[in-house]
Structure 1
């Protein structure tokens, strides 16, 4: 566990993530991270968006099921 300090950034407050943590999460300047509540009552910071992943899985199912229709529409 790492202790992070809150820092004034303009009119907002931000957290500076250590270089090692960014490298481990494969993140860089401008990337988006998601904050979600964990089952334990805490919070989880992640580059993974669970809602987006569910939407993409639903889209993949539709694309697989309607493959021929999509192929015809692409002509």
Structure 2
């Protein structure tokens, strides 16, 4: 487990990843990561994956376009 501190970065906030975590995730400076929310409210940080990003964009389009249908299905 890694303890990460939230720090000021200009007028925003950021979290610095320790070198060991960067190595484990296969990241280098300038890479992008995903932060996805889990059902329990926690977040998972994973390396950026172009294929996954495209799938998520398509899923978000479907959810936005078919919101009423998905809401009706969720009630069943």
Matched, 1:15 2:15: yes
Which structure: larger Rg?
1
Matched, 1:3 2:3: yes
2: distance between equivalents of 1:21 and 1:6? 16
How many residues are treated as equivalent by the alignment? 55
2: distance between equivalents of 1:29 and 1:13? 17
Give the drift of 1:38: 1.2
1: distance between equivalents of 2:48 and 2:29? 16
Structure 1: gaps of 5 or more residues: 56-75
State how 1:1-75 maps to structure 2 within 5 Å: 1-49=1-49, 51-52=52-53, 54=55
TM-score (normalizing by structure 1): 0.62
Structure 2: gaps of 5 or more residues: 57-76
The secondary structure found in structure 2 opposite 1:45 is strand
